[in-house]
């Protein structure tokens, strides 16, 4: 009698996911066993340690990959390559930064208990799983773990009804998108006989489908599922409401790790599994990029609420990141990775400032709250100005090189017109960033109170600024890292 | 060959000064002194570089102080600087204008930040002029936007926020075309030559391309430079921005940043894409002539002194564009000289308007009358600058405009004829405004106007000296420009440029 045959497991490959999951479980069990609430410093410290341990595991993985090349494990469902390692590290570090912001926020808003950290650890584990997935089913698994954690986190602020409303909206639309994604995976399985990305690529490379309709339908549905998760136009409608409604540290967390996880998996599916179908999906991406960069920027112009504005800004950024996918080659993949590496710290730090200015109750998010901030508090206001200039793409910040990388990839791949349209979108977006910067340095608002800057959040903001300026002056190391990571990318 | 360290210092020094001035937040006087000292040292260093410059370095095609260090290979990013006769002149202009703006247009509102932004802007402008690499030039070109945005938005007049935003968005949009064009050109070169991505000027100028590719790229480059210059019809940001900006901002924008546009057009559009010149020349010549006539016509009717200089600048930039694309060496030399002369003259204009604004709180022409009586020295200074701008023989404006016009007549006579109307119109609007502002009887507040103070007179000395000296004896300057223009033209020659 043959029992269930377990595939061999290479534990190093799944170490970051395991660390974060186990940490989440330990924290959950501990909070149930301990009488009363766990101390805030303890839970934050524990989460921080877990996320840094996951990042350290990624470094260990990197040296393994450098020696052994890209490998797969667990019946080829998980891949260990440079791209997965670097994007996992980005997720883990974003989690660390977001945890610090959440620490000060939870003290200000009197949120007790370990649940927040349990959920954020689990969500980050899901995002890392997506970075490493080499199988549509595993991607789905990662996507769901990530999303379910986030649904609850979005609703975490029980004081504001809008938080629950946003969570419900996110949950309904997100559930819908997940269903579309898994249906797409099923259709692709029907067309090719596999859900494994490597097998898909091999099958499509060595066979010609006489009736590709099923594959196209499946691929199209996968694309819609991803487009929803990364919020590109026209699948973006949820994002301004959810960004606005969610507690601000959660928004920052979401904006960074969801983008990293979802884009990493998106890239794998499009470039490595469906690379042979490039001529079919490129026109679709073309439309998505044009729509996201232009619509994202234009609608951002009319927002009065900072969080909604940042939501449109992130839609605009998503359009830019798609340029790297459009290129669909080593340069494009490296550019995408570079963009994600630089975007994640900027966005977490930007939302950290927004969290602080939001004040108790997390409600002061109109642009008026920022009038004269840089006059009253030059360091805080100046930091935000630098972060915004980086998002705008000004030279001497990482934002410039991120845009440079994806635009170069797109131009090299024959998408010169597309690059131009995207840049015009960036020019439109520049005006809302600048309006914000102008408000920061405006003369009025002298009577306003000083925004307190707690140590942990201050550290996150400082790190974000240092990263964006340091690597903006000296982008070589990060760019080489992204390039090396994608050299090890399995086809 | 001299060390490129000179140029690196020219770029780094104002940036360092900017950091120092910015950090003296609570000590406005000290910050201002730091700024003036930096500007003075910068001017001295520039003078040394001008003297040291050697246009005969073997194999360097009139470039000196050259070196190239790759900073980030994946991006093709390199610190690549060099000077030739053309950029030498603009580097000198940059240092000079900084001193004029700092000393002549001092703004005491939050002075440390003001000085810091001004120095930073100078550093970036300097960087653009010494860049010998398309990407490095682009980065500095973009960077200049940030300090100029803050200068205009924070120290400008009532509508300054809107004006600064308009300026930023216009230029940023124009740069989008330049950036995509630059990337395309670099990849074209990489696919031909192999190796790493590079934006080095020498490498890119050797790229082989079809005429239609060249025209597309030229169009993309020209849009960015036409916005910055400005060239009609992409000029609409400039009148409001010049008018709303603080005096120092107007000086920097019109005297220096505008030159980034025409310099870029000459060096990168014409220099790198000579094949496109035959097809695009009629278009650019026509736009330049329209700019000359349109700018002069609007200068006649505008009610505001700053706007008048803005429209007059549009006309002058039209002359420069005419000279750059006319396809004759003489016209091109004239264009380069006019870049410098217009910088000096327009800085003089804005300084004088700033002096008037200090006294009267307005630059509206209708509010000013009969100032010659109470302020004869101011009137005299205005007369000199004005006559130079009109193109009176013996003053600097004449030499450059004359060179441009005779060059254009030789190759494209009808455009030359049309452009000459601009010279006539310039005399009309400038003399007319002089009459309205300085002639007649001063009454009320106008009668109380104090004449130019000692420090104001001293600030105007370099302007007047340069206007007169370059009008009488431009040879040393022309001798430095000519070989470099010759070099550029010999590369462009197949596209029909008469030597």
Does B179 lie at the interface with A, CB-CB under 8 angstroms? yes
Count the domains in chain A.
1
Chain B CA closest to residue A440: B154
The per-residue pLDDT for A488 is 57
B75/A394 Cβ within 8 A: no
Q: Mean pLDDT throughout A362-374? A: 85
The per-residue pLDDT for B496 is 47
B187/A412 Cβ within 8 A: yes
Does B172 lie at the interface with A, CB-CB under 8 angstroms? yes
Closest CA to B96 of B412, B429, B343, B445: B343
The per-residue pLDDT for A74 is 86
Q: Mean pLDDT throughout A136-148? A: 94
Of B74, B140, B169, the CB nearest to A430: B169
Tokens of B142: 């973009």
What is the complex's ipTM, to 2 decimals?
A: 0.85
| Best B138, B172, B185 residue to mutate vs chain A (most A CBs within 10 Å) | B172
The per-residue pLDDT for A2 is 66
Rounded to a whole number of angstroms, the distance from the CA of A374 to the nearest CA of chain B is 12
Helix (H) or strand (E) holding B81: strand B77-83
The per-residue pLDDT for A447 is 61
Chain B residues 338-397 with CB within 8 Å of chain A: none
Of B25, B75, B165, the CB nearest to A475: B75
Helices and strands (H and E) in chain A: how many:
19, 2
Which residue is it, tokens 């700033």? B354
Residue A4 lies in a domain: no
Cβ A105 vs Cβ A249: under 8 Å: yes
Does B176 lie at the interface with A, CB-CB under 8 angstroms? yes
Which residue is it, tokens 């899901």? A126
The per-residue pLDDT for B287 is 92
Q: Which positions in chain A touch B237 (Cβ < 8 Å)?
A: none
Tokens of B226: 């036409």
Count the domains in chain B.
1
**In whole angstroms, how large is the CA radius of gyration of chain A?**
21
pLDDT tops 90 at residue A314: yes
d(CA B190, CA B183): 10
The per-residue pLDDT for A122 is 95
Rounded to a whole number of angstroms, the distance from the CA of A66 to the nearest CA of chain B is 20
If pLDDT is split at 50, 70 and 90, which confidence band does A339 have? very high
More confident residue, A445 or B114: B114
Q: What is the mean pLDDT of chain A?
A: 90
Chain A CA closest to residue B191: A412
A426/B176 Cβ within 8 A: yes
Phi, psi of A413 (to 5 degrees): -90, 15
Poorest-pLDDT segment among A420-424, A459-463, B441-445: B441-445
Find the domain containing B123 and state its range. 5-495
B183/A430 Cβ within 8 A: no
Find the domain containing A421 and state its range. 11-487
pLDDT tops 80 at residue A81: yes
| Best B109, B180, B191 residue to mutate vs chain A (most A CBs within 10 Å) | B180
Q: Which positions in chain A touch B187 (Cβ < 8 Å)?
A: 408, 411-412
Helices and strands (H and E) in chain B: how many:
21, 2
Residue A1 lies in a domain: no
Of B75, B146, B173, the CB nearest to A479: B75
Helix (H) or strand (E) holding B474: none
- Give, for all 499 residues of chain B, the pLDDT tens digit: 788 888 899 999 999 988 888 888 777 788 888 888 999 999 999 999 988 888 787 777 788 888 888 888 888 888 888 888 899 999 999 999 999 988 888 777 888 888 999 999 999 999 999 999 999 999 999 999 889 998 888 888 888 888 888 888 889 899 999 999 999 999 988 888 888 888 988 888 888 888 888 899 999 999 999 998 888 888 888 888 888 888 888 888 888 888 999 999 999 988 888 888 888 888 999 999 999 999 998 988 888 888 888 889 889 999 999 999 888 888 999 999 999 999 999 999 899 998 888 888 888 888 888 888 888 888 889 899 988 888 888 888 888 989 999 989 888 888 888 888 888 888 888 888 888 888 888 787 777 878 878 888 888 889 999 999 988 898 888 888 888 888 888 776 554 444 4
Q: Mean pLDDT throughout A128-148? A: 94
Cβ B118 vs Cβ B248: under 8 Å: yes
Residue A177 lies in a domain: yes
Does B153 lie at the interface with A, CB-CB under 8 angstroms? yes
B149/A420 Cβ within 8 A: no
Residue A111: Cβ within 10 Å count? 17
Burial of B118 (0-12, 13-18, 19+ CB in 10 A): buried
d(CA B220, CA A382): 34
Chain B CA closest to residue A402: B75
Of A396, A423, A483, the CB nearest to B143: A396
Q: Could you tell me the pTM of the whole model? A: 0.90
**In whole angstroms, how large is the CA radius of gyration of chain B?**
21
Cα–Cα distances (Å) from B234 to A42, A295, B145, B291, in that order, read 60, 25, 17, 10
For residue range A210-257, what is the model confidence (pLDDT) as tens digits? Answer: 888 899 999 999 999 999 999 998 898 899 999 999 999 999 999 999
């Amino acid at each position: 009698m043959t029992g269930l045959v377990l595939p061999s497991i290479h534990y190093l490959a799944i170490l970051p996911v395991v660390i974060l999951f186990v940490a989440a479980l330990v924290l959950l069990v501990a909070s149930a066993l301990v009488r009363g609430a766990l101390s805030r410093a303890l839970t934050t410290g524990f989460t921080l340690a877990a996320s840094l341990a996951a990042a350290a595991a990624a470094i260990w993985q990197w040296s393994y990959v450098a020696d052994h090349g890209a490998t797969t494990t667990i019946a080829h469902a998980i891949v260990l390559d440079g791209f997965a390692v670097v994007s996992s590290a980005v997720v883990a570090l974003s989690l660390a930064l977001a945890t610090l912001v959440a620490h000060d926020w939870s003290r200000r808003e009197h949120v007790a208990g370990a649940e927040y950290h349990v959920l954020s650890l689990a969500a980050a584990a899901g995002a890392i799983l997506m970075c490493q997935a080499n199988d549509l089913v595993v991607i789905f698994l990662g996507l769901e773990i990530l999303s379910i954690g986030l649904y609850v986190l979005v609703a975490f602020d029980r004081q504001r009804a809008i938080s629950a409303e946003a969570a419900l909206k996110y949950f309904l639309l997100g559930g819908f998108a997940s269903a579309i994604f898994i249906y797409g995976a099923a259709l692709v399985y029907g067309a090719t006989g596999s859900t494994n990305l490597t097998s898909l690529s091999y099958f499509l490379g060595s066979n010609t489908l006489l009736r590709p309709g099923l594959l196209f339908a499946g691929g199209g549905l996968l694309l819609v599922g991803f487009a929803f998760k990364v919020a590109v136009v026209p699948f973006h409608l949820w994002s301004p409401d959810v960004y606005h409604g969610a507690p601000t540290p959660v928004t920052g967390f979401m904006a960074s790790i969801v983008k990293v996880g979802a884009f990493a998996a998106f890239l794998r599916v499009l470039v490595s599994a469906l690379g042979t179908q490039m001529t079919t999906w490129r026109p679709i991406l073309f439309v998505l990029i044009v729509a996201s960069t232009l619509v994202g920027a234009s609608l951002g112009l009319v927002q009065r609420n900072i969080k909604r504005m940042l939501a449109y800004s992130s839609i605009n950024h998503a359009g830019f990141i798609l340029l790297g996918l459009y290129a669909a080659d080593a340069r494009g993949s490296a550019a995408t990775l570079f963009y994600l590496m630089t975007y994640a710290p900027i966005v977490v730090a930007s939302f950290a400032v927004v969290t602080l200015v939001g004040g108790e109750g997390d409600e002061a998010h109109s642009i008026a709250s920022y009038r004269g901030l840089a006059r009253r508090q030059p360091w805080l206001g100046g930091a935000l100005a630098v972060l915004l200039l980086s998002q705008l793409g000004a030279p001497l910040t990482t934002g410039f090189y991120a845009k440079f990388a994806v635009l170069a990839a797109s131009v090299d791949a024959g998408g010169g017109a597309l690059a131009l349209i995207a840049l015009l979108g960036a020019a439109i977006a520049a005006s809302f960033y600048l309006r914000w910067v102008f408000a920061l340095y405006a003369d009025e608002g002298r009577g306003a109170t000083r925004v307190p800057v707690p140590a942990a959040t201050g550290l996150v903001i400082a790190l974000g600024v240092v990263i964006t300026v340091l690597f903006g002056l000296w982008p070589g190391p990060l760019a080489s890292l992204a390039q090396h990571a994608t050299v090890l990318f399995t086809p | 060959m001299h060390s490129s360290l000179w140029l690196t210092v020219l770029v780094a020094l104002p940036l360092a000064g900017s950091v120092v001035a910015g950090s003296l937040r609570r000590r406005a006087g000290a910050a201002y002194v730091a700024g003036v000292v930096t500007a003075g040292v910068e001017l001295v260093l520039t003078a040394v570089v001008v003297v040291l410059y050697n246009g005969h370095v073997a194999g360097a095609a009139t470039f000196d102080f050259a070196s190239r260090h790759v900073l980030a290979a994946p991006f093709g990013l390199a610190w690549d600087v060099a000077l030739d006769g053309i950029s030498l002149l603009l580097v000198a202009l940059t240092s000079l204008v900084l001193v004029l703006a700092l000393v002549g247009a001092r703004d005491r509102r939050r002075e440390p930040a003001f000085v810091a932004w001004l120095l930073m802007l100078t550093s970036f402008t300097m960087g653009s002029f010494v860049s010998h690499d398309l990407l490095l030039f682009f980065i500095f070109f973009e960077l200049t936007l940030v300090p100029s945005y803050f200068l205009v938005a924070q120290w400008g007049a009532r509508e300054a926020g809107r004006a600064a935003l308009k300026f930023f968005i216009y230029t940023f949009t124009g740069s989008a075309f330049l950036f995509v064009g630059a990337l395309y050109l670099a990849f074209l070169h990489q696919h031909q030559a192999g190796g790493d991505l590079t934006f080095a000027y020498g490498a890119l100028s050797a790229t082989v391309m079809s005429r239609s590719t060249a025209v597309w790229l030229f169009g993309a480059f020209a849009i960015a430079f036409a916005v910055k210059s400005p060239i009609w019809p992409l000029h609409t940001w400039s009148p409001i921005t010049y008018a709303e900006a603080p005096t120092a901002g107007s000086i920097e924008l019109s005297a220096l940043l505008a030159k980034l546009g025409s310099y870029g057009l000459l060096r990168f559009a014409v220099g790198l894409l000579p094949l496109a010149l035959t097809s695009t020349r009629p278009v650019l010549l026509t736009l330049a002539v329209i700019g000359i006539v349109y700018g002069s016509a609007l200068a006649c009717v505008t009610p505001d002194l700053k706007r008048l200089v803005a429209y007059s600048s549009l006309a002058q930039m039209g002359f420069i564009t005419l000279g750059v694309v006319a396809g004759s060496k003489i016209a091109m030399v004239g264009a380069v000289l006019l870049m410098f002369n217009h910088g000096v003259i327009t800085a003089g204009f804005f300084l004088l308007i700033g002096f008037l604004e200090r006294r009267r709180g307005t630059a509206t022409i209708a509010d000013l009358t009969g100032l010659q009586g109470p302020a004869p020295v101011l009137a005299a200074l205005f007369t000199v600058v004005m006559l130079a701008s009109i193109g009176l023989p013996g003053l600097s404006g004449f030499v450059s405009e004359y060179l441009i016009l005779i060059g254009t007549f030789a190759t494209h006579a009808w455009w030359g004829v049309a452009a000459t109307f601009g010279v006539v119109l310039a005399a009309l609007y400038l003399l007319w405004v002089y009459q309205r502002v300085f002639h007649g009887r001063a009454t009320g507040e106008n009668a109380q106007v104090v004449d130019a103070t000692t420090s104001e007179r001293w600030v105007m000395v370099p302007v007047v000296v340069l206007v007169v000296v370059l009008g009488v004896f431009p040879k040393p300057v022309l001798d430095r420009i000519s070989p470099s223009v010759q070099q550029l033209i010999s590369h462009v020659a197949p596209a029909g440029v008469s030597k």
